[in-house]
Amino acid sequence: MSESINRERRRLLLAAGVSLAGAIIIPRSISAQPSRSASTTTLGPINQIDAGVLSVGYADFGPPTGPPVILLHGWPYDIHSFVDVAPLLAAAGYRVIVPHLRGYGSTRFLSGSALRNGQPAAVAVDIVTLMDALNIEKATLAGFDWGARTANIVAALWPARCNSMVSVSGYLIGSQESGRMPLPPKAELEWWYQFYFATERGRLGYDKYRNEFAKLIWQLASPKWSFDDATFGRSSASFDNPDHVAIVIHNYRWRLGLAQGESRYDELDTRLAQFPAISVPTITLEGDANGAPHADPSAYANKFSGKYAHRLISGGIGHNLPQEAPKAFAQAVIDVDAL
């Protein structure tokens, strides 16, 4: 069977009913979305593999010889953001890898003396080394929040390793220099937690109240998502990782230039500071009720130099788009494979 036929088969398996005309693609009916109530499924069993500086915990769905897709979660979420996406993609013939990022779940540093570094370039290198460890030469990368930023960096710096990409909230590559630039007051207010984390009080507060903090972020970022305690508890267990607080705090302090990274990533950061265009086929997604800071799609459309489309997902969909609208997210993964 030809690859073009395989791709068309995967597209039909999800049958999301989306229009492909125009730069912005909107679902015809939100009724095509599964219920947003708590899922009863999990992403177990979790495998472990040594990759670079980490022992990475990851879920592995679908046929081992299927086209690989790597799904990347954000903060403060975990792999269960894809609890309904992964089975959809596996049923469509993909091999689906869902790793815990550094500082989450069962992912651990191999050395006790390693810097608990949340630098975006370091997280991206984690994914490339995970692909190496799994003998995956090239994959579709899809994610949101930190996961989308990580996918962006891999696609920009290692396009030969990225078949295509799905990125919630568009182009998220940044730099320490841009992070130092003041924003209008309303925009600064949206980043309140970044300033909180810049203080020792913020570090101690996040450590003491990490679950309460995460639940508040979920509520603010997805104001129309009525998740229940079971759904939250399934993900919040991942925040018990001993490196979680250190990684989160370092990430946000690094963005403001208040924490040093590691010299091994200097060359990568220099390249990222040029805000490189992304040439791999890309679909960007945005929820119509995203309460987290995000740019208008028009602000980043020209950063994608290859085949590109944007989709607005309607129906009160917030920041955690793959968990709130799993069918739309999975459909984008299948469609970007055929752009």
In this predicted model, what pLDDT tens digit does every residue of 297-331 receive, in sequence order? 999 999 999 999 999 999 999 999 999 999 999 99
Mean pLDDT of the residues in the chain: 91
Least confident of 15-24, 90-99, 260-269: 15-24
Say if residues 87 and 63 touch (Cβ distance below 8 Å): no
CA distances from 1 to 4, 211, 234, 321, 325 (A): 8, 49, 40, 33, 31
End-to-end, the C-alpha distance of the chain in Å comes to 19
Work out the pLDDT band at 42, boundaries 50, 70, 90.
Answer: confident
CATH number of the domain bearing residue 205: 3.40.50.1820
Euclidean distance between CA atoms 320 and 323, whole angstroms:
6
- Report the C-alpha gap between 46 and 315 in whole angstroms: 32
| Residues contacting 186, CB < 8 A, separation 6+ | none
> What pLDDT is recorded for position 59?
98
**According to DSSP H, which parts of 174-325 are helical?**
176-179, 185-190, 192-197, 200-208, 210-221, 229-236, 244-255, 266-272, 321-324
CA-CA-CA-CA torsion sign (108, 112, 117, 121): negative
Domain containing 17 equals 3-336
Alpha-carbon span 37 to 205, nearest angstrom: 30
Q: Which of 25-34, 119-128, 167-176, 195-204 has the lowest mean pLDDT?
A: 25-34
pLDDT score, position 189: 96
Question: Which token pair is 93?
Answer: 């013939």
Measured CA distances, 226 to 229, 232, 317, 323 (Å): 10, 11, 11, 12
Q: What is the pLDDT of residue 78?
A: 98
Q: How many CB atoms are closer than 10 A to CB 194?
A: 18
pLDDT higher than 80, residue 30: no
Mean of the pLDDT values across residues 155-159? 98
Total count of domains within the chain? 1
Residue type, 37: S
| pTM beyond 0.85, yes or no | yes
Segment 24-36 shows an average pLDDT of 36
Q: What number of residues does the chain have? A: 339
